[in-house]
Amino acid sequence: MNKKIILSVALLTLMSGCTTAPEKELEKKQQTTFVNDYPTRDRVEYVFNCIAKHGGLTGSKAFINQYACGCKIDKIAEKLTFIEYEDARTFSYLKKIPGEKGGAFRDPAQSKDLRTRLKEAEKYAESQCFVM
């Protein structure tokens, strides 16, 4: 009787998939770049700044621009991970510091590369999303 119970439990365990290697699933997840890895706060900040840049929340274009600006950050997220986006924005803001202090943000190859990639991503987003 006990042997039947033990065999039944062992069979159920095998059938439930408990013996699969979770490491493989974790490895697949780590290799995938998620488009939705941008924090909501940063997406909202981008959308509000974009709306303000294109006429604000008043007027007939407000509704269209709200969705178009949301589209733009989604398209940027397709091209850059959040870390790259955040670094590129930081380099872009801080490169304006005059003198040697600004040179630390202007001159490194990483800075130039990320700023270029951000400009390309923004150009791509502009071409894909209709902002008035």
More confidently predicted of 76 and 7: 76
CA distance 108 to 4: 69
pTM score, two decimals? 0.66
Mean pLDDT of 74-99: 91
Dump pLDDT digits (tens) for 82-91: 999 999 998 8
Alpha helices in the chain (DSSP H): 2-16, 22-31, 40-53, 62-79, 82-94, 99-106, 109-128
Long-range contacts of 35-44, Cβ-Cβ distance < 8 Å, separation of 24 or more: 35/74, 35/77, 35/78, 36/77, 37/77, 37/81, 37/82, 38/73, 38/77, 38/82, 38/85, 39/82, 42/82, 42/86, 43/70, 43/73
- Residue 8: pLDDT band (50, 70, 90) is very low
Query: Strand, helix or coil at 97?
Result: coil
Query: What pLDDT does residue 96 have?
Result: 85
Dump pLDDT digits (tens) for 26-59: 455 544 555 568 999 999 999 999 888 887 777 7
The percentage of residues in the chain with a pLDDT greater than 90, rounded to a whole number, is: 35
Query: What pLDDT does residue 132 have?
Result: 63
